[in-house]
């Protein structure tokens, strides 16, 4: 029985209930976590509020030291954390290790910024007066995290929030609380004072709702679906709470006729099927120039057919199961809709059956061509291992189709022509554009979606702006005696 963290103590919920955390590959229970209530969330918020008075007075360097010491503990515990993550989330162990390392890198990055938060100074703003621009922490911040990358997406909030002097109440996804709780325990071991970071597990509509509506919470960092993000923003408006929203996406990848076809096909296979396609920044629509389309499709299909699906803990597994039954139902319905409208299946297109598959939520990596542009796989976010492929006649056509979406998270273009690459980088309506590169995210670069993919930025020095208030100060001095 895992416990929640409130005020530095590991506790159960007032509800007395626990939620079973299931292994998506086997259908077996991994462990249980408390079913938190609104009162639990309020208690955590009150503890964080009290701890703020102390933590915000620590020097930046001292706060950064705690972050650095925690990073050392992540490395020591990497294998155990990754194994737990695979069991509760489903991803292959190799990807779980990458996620733990990504989390460690993010925390290390913000520890490194510990001496770099700057304000401003305006001399002689008036007669015998100067102005200062200072940065202050916000207070208690909420962090609401989804199940697809439960650890690294929590890290994107912890790094800037703690470094800037805020205290936190974290709500993991109902189905992936276990690794998050272990990770947060390492911060305590590294010397984080009690109450600075609290974790309340349980339903989003109860625990999450309390965090978003509670007036003591000054900001919410939310990662999840666009639908819930919209609700979070509306609720937060009642208390004019700051929000950062990292939401859904439908990233287009454009491959021009002058691209390195083999490298691009490799990037498409990884970019679509990593984490069983359950990534916000996954390639979800592929636009191929007509003249290279057949060659590209042949290479991509060959790669996709070699992807080995299985239990994430089994040696050699490249793709795990979908995270839940409802995720698999959704992807099945989206693929079936495309087939019903005339799409052709080049690979996959169905569940996987047989030994090792029957108890988990497995689905074959799927490629679809001849997909109508109004099919669900083209207009909705496809959060699973299926990729619709479209043919285009020119770059402008590709960009217009790529932008014809409510989403604007990531995007990529493959071309050897600098003019085409520049045009795409400037015109694609997305928070990220990769040029001749796999879709890999960097802590050094700010990231956040355009349009209905989100609001605000995570990563980079820029993220600190979303965890601080900027304040102006005017200082009057006495006239100088001549």
The distance of closest approach from Cβ of residue 91 to ligand NAD in the complex, given in angstroms and rounded to an integer, is: 13
Name the minimum Å distance from CB 227 to ligand NAD.
7
Binding mask 333-362 for ligand NAD (x = CB under 6 A): ------------------------------
CB of 458 to ligand NAD, least distance (A): 7
| Contact call for residue 145 and ligand NAD (CB under 6 A) | yes
Under the criterion CB under 6 A, does residue 443 sit at the interface with ligand NAD?
A: no
31 or 330, CB closer to ligand NAD?
Answer: 330
Q: Which pair of structure tokens corresponds to residue 316? A: 């050699």
Q: Which helix (H) or strand (E) holds 43?
A: helix 38-55
Closest approach of Cβ 247 to ligand NAD, in Å? 5
Based on the shown chain and the rule CB under 6 A, indicate whether residue 280 belongs to the binding site for ligand NAD.
yes
For ligand NAD, the binding residue among 44, 67, 144, 371 (CB under 6 A) is 144
Tell me which of 146, 155, 385, 460 binds ligand NAD, using CB under 6 A: 146
Nearer to ligand NAD, 173 or 424 (CB): 173
- Residue 138 found at the interface with ligand NAD (CB under 6 A): no
Is the CB of 14 or the CB of 231 nearer to ligand NAD?
Answer: 231
Please confirm, yes or no, whether 263 is among the known catalytic residues.
no
Judged by CB under 6 A, which of 84, 261, 387, 409 binds ligand NAD? 409
Task: Please work out the total of residues on this chain that contact ligand NAD, with binding judged by CB under 6 A.
Answer: 31
Among 43, 95, 381, 443, binds ligand NAD (CB under 6 A): 381
Residue that the structure tokens 């007509």 belong to: 290
Least separation in angstroms between residue 143's CB and ligand NAD is: 10
Min CB(284)–ligand NAD separation in Å: 9
Q: How far is the CB of 323 from ligand NAD (least distance, A)?
A: 8
Residue where the block lists tokens 């102005």: 131
Which of 246, 330, 332, 429 is flagged as catalytic? 246
Pick the closer one to ligand NAD by CB: 63 or 157. Answer: 157
Give the nearer residue to ligand NAD in terms of CB position, either 250 or 369.
Answer: 250
153 touches ligand NAD by CB under 6 A: yes
Q: 26 vs 209, which CB is nearer to ligand NAD? A: 209
Three-class SS string for the chain? CCCEEECCEEECCCCCCEEEEECCCCCCEEEEEECCCHHHHHHHHHHHHHHHHHHCCCCHHHHHHHHHHHHHHHHHCHHHHHHHHHHHHCCCHHHHHHHHHHHHHHHHHHHHHHHCCCCEEEEEEECCEEEEEEEEECCEEEEECCCCCCCHHHHHHHHHHHHCCCEEEEECCCCCCHHHHHHHHHHHHCCCCCCCEEECCCCHHHHHHHHHHCCCEEEEEEECCHHHHHHHHHHHHCCCCEEEEECCCCEEEEECCCCCHHHHHHHHHHHHHHHHHCCCCCEEEEEEEHHHHHHHHHHHHHHHHCCCECCCCCCCCCECCCCCHHHHHHHHHHHHHHHHCCCEEEECCCECCCCCCCCCCCECCEEEECCCCCCHHHHCCCCCCEEEEEEECCHHHHHHHHHCCCEECCCEEECCCHHHHHHHHHHCCCCCCEECCCCCCCCCCCECCEECCEECCECCCHHHHCCEEEEEEEEECCCCCC
449 near ligand NAD (CB under 6 A): yes
Least distance to ligand NAD, CB of residue 204, Å: 2
Residues 293 to 322: which contact ligand NAD by CB under 6 A? none
Among the listed residues 453, 398, 454, 445, the one whose alpha carbon sits nearest the alpha carbon of residue 424? 398
- Is residue 174 part of the contact set for ligand NAD (CB under 6 A)? yes
Query: Of 196-255, which residues contact ligand NAD (CB under 6 A)?
Result: 204-205, 208-209, 212, 223-225, 228, 231-232, 246-249
Q: Has 280 been annotated as catalytic?
A: yes
Between 172 and 365, whose beta carbon lies closer to ligand NAD?
A: 172
Catalytic position from the list 108, 256, 280, 330: 280
What DSSP letter does each residue of 364-408 carry, written as one string? --EEEES--TTSHHHHS---SSEEEEEEESSHHHHHHHHH-SSEE
Please give the span between the terminal C-alpha atoms of the chain, in angstroms, as a whole number. Answer: 75
Cα 443 from chain centroid (whole Å) = 12
**446 lines the binding site for ligand NAD (CB under 6 A):** no
CB of 217 to ligand NAD, least distance (A): 11
Residues with active-site annotation: 246, 280
> Which residues contact ligand NAD by CB under 6 A?
144-149, 153, 171, 173-174, 204-205, 208-209, 212, 223-225, 228, 231-232, 246-249, 280, 381, 383, 409, 449, 454
């Amino acid at each position: 029985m895992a416990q929640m963290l409130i005020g530095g103590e590991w506790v159960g919920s007032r509800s007395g209930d626990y939620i079973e955390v299931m292994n998506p590959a086997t259908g077996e229970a991994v462990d249980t976590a408390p079913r938190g209530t609104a009162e639990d969330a309020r208690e955590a918020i009150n503890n964080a509020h009290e701890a703020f008075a102390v933590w915000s007075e620590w020097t930046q360097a001292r706060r950064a030291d705690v972050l650095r010491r925690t990073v050392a503990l992540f490395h020591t515990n990497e294998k155990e954390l990754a194994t737990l993550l695979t069991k509760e989330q489903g991803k292959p162990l190799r990807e779980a290790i990458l996620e733990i390392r990504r989390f460690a890198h993010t925390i290390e990055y913000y520890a490194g910024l510990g001496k770099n938060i700057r304000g401003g100074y305006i001399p002689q703003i008036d007669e015998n007066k100067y102005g200062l621009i200072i940065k202050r922490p916000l207070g208690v911040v909420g962090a609401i995290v989804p199940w697809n990358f439960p650890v690294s997406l929590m890290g994107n909030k912890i790094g800037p929030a703690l470094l800037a002097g805020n205290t936190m109440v974290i709500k993991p996804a109902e189905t992936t609380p276990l690794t998050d709780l272990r990770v947060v325990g390492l911060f305590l071991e590294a010397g984080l004072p009690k109450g600075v970071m609290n974790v309340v597990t349980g339903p989003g509509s109860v625990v999450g709702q309390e965090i978003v509506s509670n007036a003591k919470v000054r900001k919410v960092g939310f990662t999840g679906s666009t639908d819930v993000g919209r609700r979070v923003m509306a609720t937060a408006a009642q208390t004019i709470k700051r929000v950062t929203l990292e939401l859904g996406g439908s990233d287009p990848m454009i491959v021009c006729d002058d691209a390195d076809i083999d490298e691009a096909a490799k990037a498409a296979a990884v970019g679509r099927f990593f984490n069983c396609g359950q990534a916000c920044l996954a390639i979800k629509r592929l636009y191929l120039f007509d003249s290279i389309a057949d060659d590209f499709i042949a290479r991509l299909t060959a790669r996709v057919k070699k992807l080995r699906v299985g239990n994430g803990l089994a040696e050699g597994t490249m793709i795990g199961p979908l995270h839940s039954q409802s995720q698999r139902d959704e992807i099945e319905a989206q693929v079936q809709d495309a087939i019903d409208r005339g799409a052709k299946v080049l690979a996959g297109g169905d569940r996987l059956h047989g030994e090792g598959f029957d108890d988990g939520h497995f689905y074959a990596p799927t490629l679809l061509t001849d997909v109508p542009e109004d099919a669900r796989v083209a207009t909705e976010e496809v959060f699973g291992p299926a990729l619709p492929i479209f043919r285009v006649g020119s770059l402008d056509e590709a960009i217009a189709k790529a932008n014809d979406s409510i989403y604007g998270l990531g995007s990529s273009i493959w071309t050897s022509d600098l003019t085409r690459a520049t045009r795409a980088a400037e015109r694609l309506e997305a928070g990220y554009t990769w040029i001749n590169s796999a879709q890999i995210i960097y802590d050094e670069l700010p990231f956040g979606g355009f349009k209905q993919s989100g609001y605000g930025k995570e990563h980079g020095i820029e993220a600190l702006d979303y965890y601080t208030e900027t304040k102006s100060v005017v200082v009057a001095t006495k006239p100088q005696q001549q």
